[in-house]
Chain A
């Protein structure tokens, strides 16, 4: 895509157990665009014959124009991207990186920013805190981890921000004090959460039950496309049929077939990949966070980065 950057891996660092930080610098040596805390980039990786494109939050200072950094957890059931980064990526490799996009932006009106991270969900907050600190804004980070050994960035964040960073390690018996966190906050406080779905659900429910307004609650879903049974999709314009494998998303299958649909997040959040369903016989397995329940029921639109299909005929307006 236009705006894509050729970037070279200049450092690989094991940030914590099972979490690898990758530093990328532009091949042409120019200044990168600044970005906003919470932004992600889509990184394209050539893994054998397969192109893998995964979104990763930027976890560096948004005003450092010399490089971007991402941190990738080794996934238990890796679809490829994370195994590739952990096992095969080497310093000197060149990756194609899309322009930063932000679907998890701070609300700049906030009187105070409270961030609740779980595990690898820490990454967007590393960049946010750099911006909050520079602008002199009030913030707190509450960071739940399995163990200190698995807590990426914990040391550096505590060094930078001192008591504004609180770590809760499960193996030490520490738990996020959610109820206390959402109580007695000044009016105009905003709450951000990123991490496992269960943690985010608990954070948001606790805040809602305590009467927080919806506009003050922000969450980022780190979701990979779900695997599933293979199926076939028919393209209305050409009549072509494309097979979607069990570990492939519909979007990935289309890309592999040389069709290049629009996308931004590849995680079912932004709406950019919405595609019209011309005809279907079967069930669309919606797995996005974008369509309304009514739109899902109608199934006139499918978010091809996440959702799958079960049935014998699916025709898309492509």
Chain B
């Protein structure tokens, strides 16, 4: 029985922690069980893993469609710091203004609905009042009127939403990445990808294009319907709990990969999961892509016996091209060896949730 999941996810307090410098980021025991572990079986398989984004198991990261957890305040502080150092992490082409408002509405509505103790949205026609208690914000503005907000609508709401955000325009039978705020990415750059289409920005990915994965995924997404968002999980690994692993800052984090030793795997190596959700936007007919990232160090992973058994088995079956693409090559074996100490060889139950 999943007793740990009986309670609804309702963050009350927010951790004071860092994603750089002393890397004090950590997960509470409840938040470990909240983590969206991405592997539902013991070996690795590439697929078009898209499913309806509907509310899932209470207590899990799938319970609320826009998930807020104990890292909210610290992540927003880290994002503000990244943006201060590099304003190009936020970009929006001029024709995306309607999609910006669509996104602001969607993120306010979803967060206020899921966490009324944290967020309140009050509407009176186009006069809106938004209260964000964790960040101490209380703003009144006119929906649709840029001059009534301190920043562009997308900039404004992304600074108050966990996860990176890309906005796509849909035209000519393709999706175009024409706006976004990307400050916690797994080694790709909005400044580089902005204005590209679905095939262009996916060009660096190995194996999947030849399998027709992207052709099928695009065809599916072009018909994505209003009110029927979908999600997929993607994952990689990061050394130290660093949110900003961008190409721009590679010199800061790339060398971390050489610091993994058999003694520090538990502390340093993090599983990094992206719960990606895709939403049709109403007024613009654009598409919102939320890349909600989660990190958990190996010490924390093995507190869930099923995950401790499964992760090394999956890592062993990952094709070399993918290990290279994800940047795991240097420390993959060291990590597997460490994790194997927690794998007693017992069978694992199907699905991603802890037993």
- Chain A residues within CB distance 8 Å of chain B: 2-3, 33-36, 38-39, 62-63, 99-102, 105, 107-109, 131, 134-135, 215, 264, 270-272
Contacts and interface: CB of A to CB of B under 8 A. Distances in A.
Contact of A108 (B95, B144, B222): B95
A99 B284 contact: no
B226 A101 contact: yes
The 9 closest A-B pairs by CB, nearest first: A108-B95, A36-B285, A34-B282, A105-B285, A109-B95, A3-B227, A102-B285, A99-B226, A99-B227
Contacts, number: 60
Contacts of B223: 264, 270-272
A65 to B, nearest CB: 10
A109 B228 CA distance: 26
B223 to A, nearest CB: 5
Contacts of A100: 226, 282
Contacts of A134: 144
B330 interface: no
B226 to A, nearest CB: 5
Nearest to A214: B172
Contacts of A102: 285
B228 A63 contact: no
Nearest to B96: A108
Contact of B285 (A33, A39, A63, A270): A39
B97 interface: yes
Interface in B208-227: 219, 222-223, 225-227
Given A3-B228, A99-B226, A35 B282 contact: yes
B225 A3 contact: yes
B118 interface: no
A213 to B, nearest CB: 10
Nearest to A5: B227
B169 interface: yes
A264 B225 contact: yes
A62 B283 contact: yes
Given A108-B96, A135-B97, A271-B219, A33 B170 contact: no
A25 B283 CA distance: 19
8 contacts: A33-B227, A33-B282, A36-B284, A105-B171, A108-B99, A109-B93, A264-B223, A271-B222
B285 A2 contact: no
The interface residues of chain A, by DSSP majority, are classed as: loop
Contacts of A3: 225-228
A60 to B, nearest CB: 13
Contacts of A109: 93, 95, 169, 171
B65 interface: no
A34 B102 CA distance: 9
A3 B227 CA distance: 6
Contacts of B77: none
A108 B98 contact: yes
Given A108-B98, A108-B169, A135-B97, A36 B228 contact: no
A33 B219 contact: no
A2 B98 contact: no
A33 B228 CA distance: 12
A210 B101 CA distance: 37
A36 B172 contact: no
A100 to B, nearest CB: 6
A36 B225 contact: no
Contacts of A39: 285
B314 to A, nearest CB: 33
B172 A215 contact: yes
A105 B172 CA distance: 10
B226 A35 contact: yes
A62 B226 CA distance: 14
Contacts of A135: 97-98
Contacts of A33: 226-227, 282
Contacts of B227: 3, 33, 99
A80 to B, nearest CB: 25
Contact of A36 (B144, B219, B282): B282
Nearest to A109: B95
Given A33-B226, A99-B225, A108-B284, 11 more contacts: A3-B226, A34-B283, A99-B226, A99-B227, A99-B228, A102-B285, A105-B285, A108-B98, A109-B169, A135-B98, A271-B219
Interface in B160-212: 169-172
A213 B108 CA distance: 39
A103 B93 CA distance: 22
Output the residue of B171, B172, B227, B285 with the most chain A CB within 10 A.
Answer: B285
Contacts of A62: 282-283
Contacts of B228: 2-3, 99
A135 B283 CA distance: 12
Contacts of B226: 3, 33, 35, 99-101
Output the residue of B95, B171, B225, B282 with the most chain A CB within 10 A.
Answer: B282
Contact of A105 (B93, B97, B170, B219): B170
Interface string B78-103: 00000000000000010111110010
B171 A101 contact: no
Contacts of B225: 3, 99, 101, 264
